[in-house]
Amino acid sequence: MDENTMINETTIHEAGISEVEFNEIFAIMEASFPVSEIRTRTGQQALLDRPNYHLYTSKDAEGEILAFLAAWELPELRFIEHIAVNPECRSGGIGRKLMSSYLMRSDKPVLLEVEPPDGELEQRRIGFYERLGFYLNPYNYMQPPLRAGQADLPLRIMTYPEPVTMKEFRRFRDILYTEVYGVKI
């Protein structure tokens, strides 16, 4: 990232977000994640009204969004639901700088979900987060469906700045299920 690129926090419930910004973020999201790992456009837009849901962006000098980080700021933890860089700007360090900036502001555990380390791409992605200080926890985890008609998705939880015990994992999982996914426990 050069001096013309900035990390800019866009906090949805305070500052609002324009339709253009939402479209840029959603386009990056669709280009970066399989359908099973993102909500529908309507479902994603509905999150903008949730007070605990925040978007952080990295923009170029012209204000175009290069990357975004979508996170839930909850009383016990921070949960990074998505982080993605525009495909045209990947491998330039933008995602690392955006994530590092986010982590520096956290005084709570930070969690994120990753695919199990079954293939080379998944292992590379996990390695990216490990280099930032995350730990891959060994516990089985199922992400509830983000769209109607989908099945639960087997993922793993990574935590920062340290690994969690089984008891902590269960508590954090239950918080994610109820606060982020709306699952009744």
Sign of the torsion formed by the C-alpha atoms of 116, 119, 29 and 62: positive
What dihedral angle (degrees, nearest 10) is formed by the CA atoms of 164, 184, 83, 109? -30
Q: Where along the chain do its domains lie?
A: 6-180
| Alpha-carbon gap, residue 138 to 56, rounded angstroms | 29
CATH topology of domain 6-180: Aminopeptidase (3.40.630)
pLDDT of residue 2: 47
What value does the mean pLDDT take over residues 92-118? 93
pLDDT in tens, 113-164: 999 999 999 999 999 999 999 999 999 999 999 998 999 999 999 999 999 9
pLDDT in tens, 13-65: 334 688 899 999 999 999 999 999 999 999 999 999 999 999 999 888 888 89
For 18-42, give the DSSP string. Answer: -HHHHHHHHHHHHHHS-GGGS--HH
pTM over 0.75: yes
H-run or E-run covering 166? helix 166-175
Does 66 score more than 70 pLDDT? yes
CB 12 within 8 A of CB 53: yes
